[in-house]
Structure 1
Amino acid sequence: MKPYISPGNPVIRHKYTADPAAIVHEGTVYLYTGHDETPEGEYNYQMHDWCCFSSTDMVNWKEHPVPLRAADFEWVKQGAWASQVISRNGRFYWYVAVEHNTIPGKAIGVAVADRPEGPFEDARGSALVSNDMTPGESDKDDIDPSVIIDTDGQAYLFWGNGQCYYARLKENMTELDGPIRNIALPEFSEGTWIHERDGWYYLLYGYQFPEKVAYAMGRSIHGPWEFKGIVNELAGNCQTNSPAILGYKGATYFIYHNGGLPGGDSFRRSVCIDRLYFNTDGTIRRVIMTSEGTGPAREQ
């Protein structure tokens, strides 16, 4: 593991990182990211693995050995796009967006590990969701998974590009449990993140293109969803905008990416963290993106 001290945003500065997600396990934050490897002068996504960093103060980070690669899935052709990790029954499940090698289009896989830093391995030997399972016309329908375990213990998977989908997951977290449903959201692009707080459900997503982050909220995981507006504005010189929410030490954090490092752009992105605040009615205040970042996390 390599120690790394973040002086502000972006929080990881020695490589390009994107599409963040994070969990807290036994008092430690585990930050999971994609890894942009596109050479300067080229303008396409080149992503082959995912990264894991950990911290107990969100300033001093440790980089763990590469926990998961696209090549770890035998059925995957290429790509290591947006992902999310969640824990259940002492195991850690990593939902990832990839490109299928036999079914045309993008797909969602799931890997599993006994430790939050991995190593992870394919939990199924096949795609959890593939392009032939969804009705959209795009070959990019099935990307950007976000997963939640509801207050009653039922798990759900959200995902999509151009159209937002969701479905129940079985207790084993590796199979769908019922039909795939659509959610109508204004100018939905991609990049879902599902979150619950104080009886409110929040569905964040990439809005329009270039992407801002907008959100809808409701009292049930099944909706109805009420559109509430923008959370995060355009992220600098980066056309995509991938949100994550993390509660840690009594504070709430908004994790996203921009093109803020030297040489950065839409294909060489960098993960940032700023504070997220809620109004008394449960709505979200617009995020203020900063170069200073959050500073050390302390108990509130």
Structure 2
Amino acid sequence: MEQTFTAAGNPIVRHVFTSDPCALVHDRRLYVYTGRDEAPIGHDGYVLTEWLCFSTPDLLHWTAHGVPLRPTDFAWATGDAYASKVVEHGGRFYWYAPVTHATIPGKAIGVAVSDRPTGPFRDARGSALITNDMTSAAGSVRADDKDDIDPTVLIDDDGQTHLFWGNGRCYHARLAPSLVDLDGPIAVVDLPDFAEGAHIHKRDGWYYLAYGYQNPEKVGYAMSRDVDGPWEFQGVLNDVVENCETNRAAIVDFRGKSYFLYHNGALPTGGNHRRSICMDELHYNPDGTLRRVVMTAAGVAAVAAADERGGPP
């Protein structure tokens, strides 16, 4: 059931705990997909059983679209809705979702698909795209079977699709034109102090790879002229957030401006496992580097909603 609300300031969503945002623009509307933090007060651990979808035409008036996907929508998974990524291609929407595999130890990445940005989404493969044994073969550095989380996807200007993901080590692989199969080997990306939470985007010929950096996590970022690297580390993009040790960046252009989404633990009873998504403006320097994000309680200003005549996305 859809629910409308007004969001003035950060955190954006206040009626439920939300985490790990990703974002896309479709038909001049911004869609934000999040996890839902369900950990009880005082519980020291994640409880993540579903993903949520929110949208807005103007950054002020929002619609909550309910639960378009759950980990258990993958018949081969047992649960755990970790940080995910949704992209649009060919009029369809592809959701790259890390979950716990039922038969292969560890996390795995599945792909769900829908004809609408709000779903419902269904398993596009009937099996996992990435499993823990695949990254073990690529040189995993973790002992807790959580290599394969936090996917991010870029559909490049030449049509080639790239998948980045990881925990403790960043991985990169190309996807086939179907977007639901790999098209080549898994490579390891050399990034300093990579923790998790990768986000890839491209602007003016530069590739930007933001990620959870150190612990507690800041967001650091690297740049490259080639998606295969080498990547040059540029420093900290976002500092440690309020009352939370993790962070996950999402970067999106909307109505002629750039925005940075993240989460913190600022709501009453919030914290490491009861997080809330926020949004502030992102600015580029003339040389293409990024200015450090200024996190605010005020958040972002509303923009004029596009009418049927169009306007900037």
TM interval, shorter chain, is over 0.9
In the aligned structure 2, how far is the partner of 1:171 from the partner of 1:184? 26
SS at match of 1:132: helix
CA deviations over 1:58-101 (Å, ceiling 9, x no partner): 11110012100111111112200100100111100000111111
Q: In the alignment, which residue of structure 2 is the partner of 1:8?
A: 9
Q: Could you tell me how far 1:137 is from its partner in structure 2?
A: 4.3
Q: In the alignment, which residue of structure 2 is the partner of 1:183?
A: 189
User: Which one-letter code corresponds to 1:12 in the other structure?
Assistant: V
User: Which one-letter code corresponds to 1:111 in the other structure?
Assistant: A
Q: Could you tell me how far 1:220 is from its partner in structure 2?
A: 1.1
In the aligned structure 2, how far is the partner of 1:137 from the partner of 1:164? 10
Q: Answer yes or no: is 1:223 the counterpart of 2:224.
A: no
Q: Could you tell me how far 1:297 is from its partner in structure 2?
A: 2.4
Q: In the alignment, which residue of structure 1 is the partner of 2:20?
A: 19
In the aligned structure 2, how far is the partner of 1:296 from the partner of 1:94? 28
SS at match of 1:134: helix
In the aligned structure 1, how far is the partner of 2:60 from the partner of 2:189? 37
In the aligned structure 2, how far is the partner of 1:234 from the partner of 1:297? 28
List structure 1 runs of 4+ shifted beyond 6 angstroms.
Answer: none
Percent of aligned positions with the same letter in both sequences? Answer: 56
Aligned residues: 300
**1:254-269 matches, cutoff 5 A:** 254-269=260-275
Q: In the alignment, which residue of structure 1 is the partner of 2:218?
A: 212
Q: Could you tell me how far 1:29 is from its partner in structure 2?
A: 0.6
CA deviations over 1:216-258 (Å, ceiling 9, x no partner): 0011111110000000000111010100001001000000000
SS at match of 2:261: strand
Contact between 2:141 and 2:169, CA under 8 Å: does it hold in 1? no
Q: Which deviates more, 111-120 or 130-139?
A: 130-139
Gaps of 5+ in 2: 305-310
**1:60-209 matches, cutoff 5 A:** 60-135=61-136, 136-138=140-142, 139-209=145-215
User: Which one-letter code corresponds to 1:45 in the other structure?
Assistant: Y
Q: In the alignment, which residue of structure 2 is the partner of 1:51?
A: 52
User: Which one-letter code corresponds to 2:50 in the other structure?
Assistant: D
Q: In the alignment, which residue of structure 2 is the partner of 1:28?
A: 29
SS at match of 1:190: strand
**1:222-241 matches, cutoff 5 A:** 222-241=228-247
In the aligned structure 2, how far is the partner of 1:227 from the partner of 1:157? 19
In the aligned structure 1, how far is the partner of 2:264 from the partner of 2:69? 23
Q: Answer yes or no: is 1:277 the counterpart of 2:283.
A: yes
Q: Answer yes or no: is 1:242 the counterpart of 2:256.
A: no
SS at match of 1:189: strand
Q: In the alignment, which residue of structure 1 is the partner of 2:308?
A: none
Contact between 2:205 and 2:225, CA under 8 Å: does it hold in 1? yes
User: Which one-letter code corresponds to 1:228 in the other structure?
Assistant: Q
User: Which one-letter code corresponds to 2:276 in the other structure?
Assistant: S
Contact between 2:141 and 2:168, CA under 8 Å: does it hold in 1? no
TM-score of the superposition, structure 1-length normalised?
A: 0.99
Q: Answer yes or no: is 1:288 the counterpart of 2:289.
A: no
Once superposed, what is the RMSD of the aligned Cα atoms? 0.9
In the aligned structure 2, how far is the partner of 1:294 from the partner of 1:167? 34
SS at match of 1:167: strand
SS at match of 2:8: coil
In the aligned structure 1, how far is the partner of 2:66 from the partner of 2:202? 31
Contact between 2:99 and 2:108, CA under 8 Å: does it hold in 1? yes
In the aligned structure 2, how far is the partner of 1:100 from the partner of 1:238? 27
TM-score of the superposition, structure 2-length normalised?
A: 0.95
Gaps of 5+ in 1: none
In the aligned structure 1, how far is the partner of 2:218 from the partner of 2:189? 19
In the aligned structure 2, how far is the partner of 1:119 from the partner of 1:183? 33
User: Which one-letter code corresponds to 2:86 in the other structure?
Assistant: V
